[in-house]
A and B are shown apart, each in its own frame.
Chain A
Amino acid sequence: MTLTNKPQTMRVLIVEDDNMTRKALEHRMRLDGYDVFSANDGKQAVEILKNANFDVLLTDLHMPNFSGLDLIRFVRNELKSNMPIIMVTRVGLEETVLAAFELGANDYITKPFSPEELSLRVKKSIIRFKQKLT
């Protein structure tokens, strides 16, 4: 395969304020072959999203200052993007998860996450999104 017909690598943006969880998500996504970008809070993610496109957004919900809900609201209402959004959250935040779905999140996975489940959910979300576009 030449460089010219090399398929474009899918890009994932991970937004997570806990360093170790972010590192674990990054590791799994890299193992799956994605181009991985990260932000350690919602505000940093907004700046990244203003300047680049991604195939999927993985975000924590419970972050100080600019929460995951704020970020989802920004992506859907201001950025006007339909990119798949997967929440990464702990059990016990059911009300927040429901609010996130209302705002336009597509899926969620609970911490501690199963690596296999994460891989599958990301892959399926991207496939569903691409199918809608065709």
Chain B
Amino acid sequence: MLQYNLEYLEELAAGDNNFLLSMVSDFIHQTPDTLAQIAEAINRSDHELLYQLIHRFIPTIEFMGVSELVRKFRDIEQYAKAKADINLIKNYFEEVQAETFLIIDKLKHDFNQ
């Protein structure tokens, strides 16, 4: 069962709860758009763009402390870099995307967003 862990974010916040809430809110509201861009890059078989998008997105997942998702997005980053078969990437991404939305739903629920 995937779970987020805000320990790192709390360390960064250093007691500033507004900062923490703002970061969680950014993740909830910006991630769907990023995932859509990633899906579009896959649909266009644009490995270079896919690599760029995933590379930029991984720190975002790291902020939320979802290590299992970090590992999976790193896999996709490597597949993109190696220009792996796009159908393989697509199937894997669909699984990872669904898991990312589960995390978003949990955060929405826990933070009343």
Q: Which of A7-15, A24-32, A122-130 contacts B (4 or more CB under 8 A)?
A: A24-32
Main secondary structure of the interface of B (DSSP, over half): helix
CB proximity of B59 to chain A, nearest CB, Å: 5
Set of chain A residues within 8 Å of B62, measured between Cβ atoms: 111-112
A27-B16, A90-B55, A90-B58 in contact; A20/B11 too (CB < 8 A)? Answer: no
Query: A17 vs B55: C-alpha distance in the bound complex, in angstroms?
Result: 11
- Across the interface, B30 reaches (CB within 8 A) one of A19, A24, A28, namely A19
User: Which A residue sits closest to B65, measured CB to CB?
Assistant: A112
**Contact (Cβ within 8 A) A18 B12:** no
Chain B positions within 8 Å of A, measured between CB atoms, are 8, 11-14, 16, 19, 22-23, 26-27, 30, 52, 55-60, 62-63
Chain A positions within 8 Å of B, measured between CB atoms, are 17-21, 23-24, 27-28, 31, 62, 64, 90, 111-112, 115
